[in-house]
């Protein structure tokens, strides 16, 4: 799951990212309004933590841009402004939740998980595809009720494909999902091929049908 932290307070931003990485989230940071706009225009996120008071703009305008572009990123507003007007404005613009500063990081993580469940998993914690079951809370995968030992990248990859079942995902989109803004540093997509090969091998060894198909010249698709 990929998170964008839009927050100009460096210490708070660092604390959030450190905590969420321990929860196995892939995190990126936008310390100001313009960077946030560039990132939401270039990438998709499972959840965006959006501060309202940014040094070069109002965070609510980032939310407006998301809605104008019909993007489905989940949004939690985080702000020192504990104002009912700010809360109402954000929710009316389409934010999923609002949490005032200061807050406990454990509560923030729980709210992120709740938003992602509503957005991606219809409110549930489990995705099931015939013999494959993905538990998004325990972060486990089973095939025929037997646990499959996946690396974090392999798990993230399988979940990404499952969420986007029957859609062709380009190699660029997969690279960005797995590595975020660092995807540009790779000269080729060998790391994607390696992760996909290992994932297919492990699922196959556990007795799963091969749902992960290569679409020539385009990318990959989880065909279900």
The residue whose two tokens read 């905590």 is 19
What is the biggest distance separating any 2 CA atoms in the chain, rounded to whole angstroms?
Answer: 55
| pLDDT value of residue 113 | 87
**β-pair partners for 75:** 48
| pLDDT value of residue 13 | 95
Q: What is the pTM of this model?
A: 0.68
Q: Which pLDDT tens digit goes with each residue over 174-212?
A: 887 777 655 554 556 788 889 999 999 999 999 999 999
From CA 184, how far away is CA 180, in angstroms rounded?
A: 9
Q: Do residues 178 and 153 lie in contact, with contact meaning Cβ atoms separated by under 8 Å?
A: yes
| pLDDT value of residue 224 | 78
| pLDDT value of residue 29 | 95
Average pLDDT for the chain: 87
Question: By percentage, how much of the chain surpasses pLDDT 70?
Answer: 93
The residue whose two tokens read 């929860």 is 23
Q: Give the per-residue SS3 of 65-123.
A: HHHHCCCCCEEEEEECCCCHHHHHHHHHCCCCEEEECCCCHHHHHHHHHHHHHHHHCCC
- Whether 81 has a pLDDT exceeding 90, the answer reads no
């Amino acid at each position: 799951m990929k998170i964008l932290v839009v927050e100009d307070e460096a210490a708070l931003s660092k604390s959030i990212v450190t905590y969420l990485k321990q929860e196995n989230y892939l995190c990126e940071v936008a310390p100001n309004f313009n960077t946030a706009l560039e990132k939401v225009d270039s990438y998709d996120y499972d959840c965006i933590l959006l501060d309202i008071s940014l040094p070069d703009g109002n965070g609510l305008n980032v939310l407006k841009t998301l809605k104008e572009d019909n993007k489905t990123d989940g949004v939690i507003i985080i702000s020192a402004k504990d104002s009912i007007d700010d809360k109402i404005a954000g929710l009316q613009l389409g934010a999923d939740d609002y949490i005032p500063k200061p807050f406990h990081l454990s509560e923030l993580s729980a709210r992120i998980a709740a938003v992602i469940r509503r957005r991606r998993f219809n409110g549930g914690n489990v995705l099931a595809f015939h013999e494959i079951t993905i538990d998004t809370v325990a972060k486990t995968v089973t095939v025929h009720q037997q646990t499959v030992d996946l690396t974090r990248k392999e798990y993230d990859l399988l979940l990404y494909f499952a969420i986007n079942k029957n859609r062709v995902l380009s190699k660029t989109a997969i690279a960005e999902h797995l590595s975020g803004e660092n995807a540009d540093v790779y000269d080729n997509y060998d790391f994607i091929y390696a992760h996909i090969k290992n994932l297919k091998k492990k699922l196959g060894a556990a007795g799963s049908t091969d749902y992960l198909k290569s679409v020539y010249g385009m990318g990959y698709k989880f065909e279900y």
